């Protein structure tokens, strides 16, 4: 099938590559010529495991192309996926300017019946706005639905950054929202044909009305964010009452009605989805006269959780951190990505620098993006920027630091050389925002260990636990 993907970000690139992998003829278009140049030269502008290899195969087979030619992209695809960004507006609502611009171009250059697929995460009612814009453009061209019909479909993505290729190729569900009319029936047949390869073993496609499909995406991310904030809120109480949040997690997760997924306490969620989707859904509720009280709390808990590690550091080392150096392991918001959007490391680093500390940060893949983003964050604080150093290895970050702070749970941080860690630090102190280690074991090695919602084991003067 001939498919067009509008937008070459995380969702667009993964969608395009995976659809090309199974044999479709895919045209990816983007208004950013830098991205297209990178892609045409064999590169990938984002880090996503397995994506570069898949693009190399599909490019070599001639099943995927990249261009800034909007007219050619619209003429190419019978199915037009809109996979552009929907950044949060000032009030938290999703900014739809890029979605509607894509829709306008489709209407402007349409050369036949088009299935227009909202793949971007968009609020309830967006499909109707897309439909209105396309109809305006067709009317301006003097064209009617008879010769240039179309149907707007909602097909939200459920991709985890760091595992997006696997998620697309082995989906647990495919949600398609579609109108129950003649154009919708035509669109349904095309979408069914497109997704047949993913339904070989059993039917994974869930058909529903368009608004329900739009709602489903937000509801899914809101539920996952709620689980995270719930555990983070409990972890702070566990700190106060002396409970171990890891024991609590195992105790409640063993109940099949609850399960273990997204029940890990930490230093807050980030990324391109959860923060903005929680805000957007809450804003949608406000616009319709409702208050989603649970989601308001979820966002507030997450905002405060990003300060928990800094509060522990201040309690241990004092408010004035001048002359102190901190090693930071992990800068991306999660492992297996270079995405720095809403990353907890940004908040933590800014707070340490504001207190006069020096920071040496390391991340396995996000160094370039971290350098760009942190430079923007600290643009008006040049003196603080001088005390931020991004280094090439995790060991280099440790040397001579007063303490280690773990922010992202990369695999290489899970079993480090603790002997080197202890000897490289001025003082063997670790603040762990992802609960990677066991407090008792750390104490036995003479390391002063502070985790999230886990008991702190005091060391005696000889560096052993009491």
Residue 266 annotated in ligand binding = yes
Long-range contacts of 289-296 (CB under 8 A, 24+ apart): 294/226, 295/222, 295/225, 295/226
| H or E stretch at 190 | helix 182-195
Q: State yes or no: 264 annotated in a binding site.
A: yes
Query: How crowded is residue 400: how many other Cβ atoms within 10 Å of its Cβ?
Result: 11
Residue 270 assigned as binding residue: yes
Question: What span, in angstroms and rounded, lies between the C-alpha atoms of 466 and 459?
Answer: 6
370 in a labelled binding site:
no
To the question of whether residue 315 is assigned a binding role by annotation, the answer is: no
Torsion of CA 194, 196, 197, 200, to 10 degrees: 170
**158 annotated binding-site participant:** yes
- Of 115, 94, 120, the C-alpha closest to 9 is 120
Number of residues in the chain? 466
Any alpha helices (H) in 405-451, and if so which ranges? 418-424, 439-444
- DSSP labels for 350-380? HHHHHTT-EEEEE-SS-HHHHHHHHHHHTTT
* Catalytic residue from among 18, 28, 267, 273: 273
Backbone dihedral region for residue 112 (phi beyond 0: left; psi -120 to 50: alpha; all else: beta): left
The answer to whether the annotation marks 30 as part of a ligand binding site is: yes
Q: Using CB atoms within 10 A of its CB, is residue 172 exposed (0-12), middle (13-18) or buried (19+)?
A: exposed
159 labeled binding residue? yes
Active site residue 28: no
262 labelled binding-site residue? yes
Helix (H, G, I), strand (E, B) or coil at 6: strand
2 is in an annotated binding site: no
Annotated binding site for substrate: 158-161, 217, 262-266, 270, 334
Annotated binding site: 30, 35, 86, 121, 158-161, 217, 262-266, 270, 276, 334, 341
Annotated binding site for NAD(+): 30, 35, 86, 121, 161, 276, 341
- Could you list the active site residues? 273
């Amino acid at each position: 099938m001939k498919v067009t993907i509008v937008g070459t970000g995380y969702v667009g690139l993964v969608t395009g590559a995976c659809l090309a992998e199974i044999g479709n003829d895919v045209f990816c278009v983007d208004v950013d010529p830098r991205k297209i140049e990178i892609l045409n030269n064999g590169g990938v502008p984002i880090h996503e495991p397995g994506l570069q290899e898949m693009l190399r195969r599909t490019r070599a087979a001639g099943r995927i192309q990249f261009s800034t030619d909007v007219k050619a992209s619209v003429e190419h695809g019978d199915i037009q996926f809109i996979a552009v960004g929907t950044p949060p507006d000032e009030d938290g609502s999703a900014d739809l300017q890029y979605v509607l611009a894509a829709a306008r171009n489709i209407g402007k250059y349409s050369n036949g019946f088009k299935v227009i697929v909202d793949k971007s995460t968009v609020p309830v009612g967006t499909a109707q706005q897309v439909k209105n814009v396309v109809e305006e453009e067709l009317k301006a061209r003097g064209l009617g639905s008879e010769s240039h019909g179309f149907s707007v479909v909602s097909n939200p993505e459920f991709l985890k950054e760091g595992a997006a290729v696997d998620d697309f190729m082995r989906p647990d569900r495919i949600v398609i929202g579609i109108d129950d009319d003649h154009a919708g029936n035509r669109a349904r047949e095309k979408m069914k044909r497109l997704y047949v390869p993913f339904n070989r073993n059993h039917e994974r496609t869930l058909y529903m009305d368009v608004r329900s499909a739009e709602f489903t995406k937000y509801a899914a991310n809101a539920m996952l964010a709620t689980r995270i904030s719930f555990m983070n809120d409990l972890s702070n109480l566990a700190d106060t009452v002396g409970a171990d949040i890891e024991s609590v997690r195992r105790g409640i997760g063993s109940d099949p009605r609850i399960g273990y997924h997204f029940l890990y306490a930490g230093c807050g969620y980030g990324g391109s989805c959860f923060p903005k989707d929680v805000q957007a859904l809450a804003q949608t509720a406000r616009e319709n006269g409702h208050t989603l009280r649970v989601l308001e709390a979820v966002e507030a808990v997450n905002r405060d959780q990003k300060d928990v590690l800094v509060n522990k550091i201040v309690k241990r080392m004092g408010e004035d951190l001048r002359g102190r150096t901190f090693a930071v392991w992990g800068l991306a918001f999660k492992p297996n990505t270079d995405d720095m959007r809403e990353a907890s490391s940004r908040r933590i680093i800014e707070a340490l620098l504001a207190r006069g500390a020096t920071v040496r940060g390391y991340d396995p893949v996000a160094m370039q993006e971290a350098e760009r983003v942190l430079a923007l964050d600290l643009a008006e604080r040049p003196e603080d920027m001088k005390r931020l150093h991004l280094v090439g290895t995790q060991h280099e970050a440790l040397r001579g630091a007063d303490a280690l702070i773990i922010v992202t749970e990369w695999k290489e941080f899970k079993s480090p050389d603790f002997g080197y860690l202890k000897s490289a630090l001025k003082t063997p102190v670790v603040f762990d925002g992802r609960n990677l280690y066991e407090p008792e074991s750390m104490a036995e090695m003479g390391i002063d260990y502070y985790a999230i919602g886990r008991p702190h084991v005091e060391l005696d003067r000889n560096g052993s636990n009491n």
